[in-house]
Amino acid sequence: MTRSRAALLALLTMVALSPATTALADEGPEQIVNGTFDSGTAPWWSTGNTTIAIDAGRLCADIPGGTANPWDVIIGQNDIPLVAGDTYAYRFSASATPAKVGKALIQLPVDPWTQYLSANPELSVSGNDYSYTFTAPVSLPNSQVVFQLGGSAEPWRFCMDDVSLKGGAEPEVYEPDTGPRVRVNMVGYLPQGPKNATVVTTATTALDWELKNADKQTVAKGRTTPRGVDASSGQNVHTLDFGSYRRPGKDYTLTADGETSRPFDIAADLYDQLPTDALKFYYTQRSGIEILDSLRPGYGRPAGHAGVAPNQGDASVPCQPGVCDYSLDVKGGWYDAGDHGKYVVNGGISVYQLMAAYERDKAAFKDGQLAIPESGNGRPDILDEARWEQEFLLSMQVPEGKPFAGMAHHKIHDRNWTGLPLLPHLDPQPRELHPTSTAATLNLAATAAQAARLFAPYDPAFAARNLRAARTAWAAAKANPARYADPNDGTGGGAYNDADVSDEFYWAAAELFITTGEKEFRDFVLASPHHTGDIWRDRGFDWGNTAQLGRLDLATVPNALPDRARVRQSVVEGAEKYLAVQRAHPYGLPYNPPDFDWGSNNLVLNNLVVLATAYDLTGHEKYRAAVREGMDYLLGRNALNQSYVTGYGEVASHNQHSRWYAHQLDPALPNPPRGTLAGGPNSGIQDPLAQRLLKDCKPQFCYIDDIESWATNELTINWNSPLAWVSAFLADKSGRSDCRVRYTAHGSGTFTGQIVIENTGRQTVDGWTLRWSFAGGQRVRQDWGAALSQSGPVVTARSTGKIKPGRSVTFGFVATNPSGPNPSPEVFHLNGERCG
Ligand code: 9MR
The stretch 305-331 carries a mean pLDDT of 97
pLDDT at 22 over 80: no
Edge-to-edge strand order for the sheet containing 833-834? Answer: 787-791, 794-803, 765-773, 829-830, 833-834
Of 496, 602, 677, 721, which is best to mutate to test ligand 1, by the most ligand atoms within 8 angstroms of its C-beta?
496
- Closest among 138, 129, 146, 18 to 78, alpha carbons compared: 146
Smallest CA separation from ligand 1 atom 7, residue: 598
Task: Give Cα separations from 815 to 116, 741, 747, 778 (angstroms).
Answer: 73, 19, 10, 7
| Count of CA atoms in the C-beta half-sphere (13 A) of 233 | 26
Angle between helices 547-556 and 600-618 (to 10 degrees): 20
Cα(711) to ligand 1 centroid in Å equals 8
The pLDDT assigned to 24 comes to 52
Of 598, 703, 717, which is best to mutate to test ligand 1, by the most ligand atoms within 8 angstroms of its C-beta?
598
pLDDT at 793 over 70: yes
Cα(374) to ligand 1 centroid in Å equals 30
* Minimum-distance ligand 1 atom for the alpha carbon of 657: 21
* Structural domain boundaries in the chain: 19-167, 182-266, 274-627+653-731, 736-835
* CB 714 less than 6 A from any atom of ligand 1: yes
- CA angle, residues 513, 519, 522, in degrees to nearest 5: 50
The stretch 28-55 carries a mean pLDDT of 96
Q: Out of 322-326, 555-559, 718-722, pick the least confident.
A: 555-559
Cα(289) to ligand 1 centroid in Å equals 25
Average pLDDT, the chain: 94
Taking a C-beta distance cutoff of 8 angstroms, is the pair 781, 815 a contact? Answer: yes
Number of other CB atoms surrounding residue 740 within 10 Å: 17
Of 287, 334, 346, 417, which is best to mutate to test ligand 1, by the most ligand atoms within 8 angstroms of its C-beta?
346
Q: Evaluate whether 182-266 and 736-835 have a shared fold.
A: yes
Cα(694) to ligand 1 centroid in Å equals 19
Q: Out of 314-318, 683-687, 749-753, 779-783, pick the least confident.
A: 749-753
The pLDDT assigned to 781 comes to 96
* CB 494 less than 6 A from any atom of ligand 1: yes
Task: Give Cα separations from 201 to 237, 239, 264, 728 (angstroms).
Answer: 6, 11, 21, 35
Cα(52) to ligand 1 centroid in Å equals 39
- Closest among 351, 503, 390, 398 to 442, alpha carbons compared: 503
The rounded radius of gyration (Å) of the Cα atoms in the chain is 30
pLDDT at 13 over 60: no
Interatomic CA distance for residues 751 and 820, integer angstroms: 13
Angle between helices 564-584 and 547-556 (to 10 degrees): 120
- Closest among 170, 179, 9 to 89, alpha carbons compared: 170
SS percent in the chain: helix, strand, coil, step 5: 25, 25, 50
* CB 167 less than 6 A from any atom of ligand 1: no
* CB 336 less than 6 A from any atom of ligand 1: yes
* Minimum-distance ligand 1 atom for the alpha carbon of 346: 1
Please, is 708 exposed, middle or buried when counting C-beta atoms within 10 Å of its C-beta (0-12, 13-18, 19+)? Answer: buried
Cis omega before residue 310 (within 30°)? yes
* CB 339 less than 6 A from any atom of ligand 1: yes
- Closest among 63, 44, 64 to 54, alpha carbons compared: 44
pLDDT at 1 over 70: no
Smallest CA separation from ligand 1 atom 3, residue: 598
Cis omega before residue 112 (within 30°)? yes
* Minimum-distance ligand 1 atom for the alpha carbon of 714: 21
* CB 495 less than 6 A from any atom of ligand 1: yes
Q: Which residues are catalytic?
A: 657, 705, 714
How confident is the model over 491-522, as pLDDT tens digits?
Answer: 999 999 999 999 999 999 999 999 999 999 99
The pLDDT assigned to 5 comes to 43
The pLDDT assigned to 759 comes to 85
Interatomic CA distance for residues 404 and 420, integer angstroms: 36
Smallest CA separation from ligand 1 atom 10, residue: 494
| Fold of the CATH domain 19-167 | Jelly Rolls (2.60.120)
Interatomic CA distance for residues 172 and 821, integer angstroms: 66
Checking DSSP bridges between strand 188-189 and strand 264-266, what pairing results, if any?
Answer: parallel
Domain spanning 182-266 has what CATH number?
A: 2.60.40.10
Taking a C-beta distance cutoff of 8 angstroms, is the pair 438, 342 a contact? Answer: no
The pLDDT assigned to 819 comes to 75
Q: Which CATH class is domain 274-627+653-731?
A: mainly alpha
> What DSSP designation does 635 have?
B
Helix (H) or strand (E) holding 266: strand 264-266
Q: Out of 155-164, 171-180, 618-627, 826-835, pick the least confident.
A: 826-835
Smallest CA separation from ligand 1 atom 13, residue: 494
Of 714, 715, 717, which is best to mutate to test ligand 1, by the most ligand atoms within 8 angstroms of its C-beta?
714
How confident is the model over 180-236, as pLDDT tens digits?
Answer: 999 999 999 999 989 999 999 999 999 999 999 999 999 999 999 999 999 999 999
Cα(494) to ligand 1 centroid in Å equals 6
Cα first-last separation, the chain? 78
Q: Out of 215-219, 537-541, 740-744, pick the least confident.
A: 740-744
pLDDT at 726 over 90: yes
Question: Residue 736: which pLDDT band, with cuts at 50, 70 and 90?
Answer: low
Taking a C-beta distance cutoff of 8 angstroms, is the pair 591, 599 a contact? Answer: no
* CB 426 less than 6 A from any atom of ligand 1: no
Cα(496) to ligand 1 centroid in Å equals 7
Cα(594) to ligand 1 centroid in Å equals 20
Smallest CA separation from ligand 1 atom 18, residue: 337
Q: Which are the contacts of 442, defined by CB distance < 8 A and separation ≥ 6? A: 473, 474, 477, 501, 504, 505, 507, 508
pLDDT at 525 over 80: yes
Taking a C-beta distance cutoff of 8 angstroms, is the pair 717, 285 a contact? Answer: yes
Task: Give Cα separations from 222 to 126, 244, 248, 601 (angstroms).
Answer: 56, 11, 19, 31
Interatomic CA distance for residues 253 and 200, integer angstroms: 16
Cis omega before residue 81 (within 30°)? no
The pLDDT assigned to 173 comes to 85
CATH architecture of 736-835: Sandwich (2.60)
* Minimum-distance ligand 1 atom for the alpha carbon of 495: 15
Question: Residue 472: which pLDDT band, with cuts at 50, 70 and 90?
Answer: very high
The stretch 427-433 carries a mean pLDDT of 97
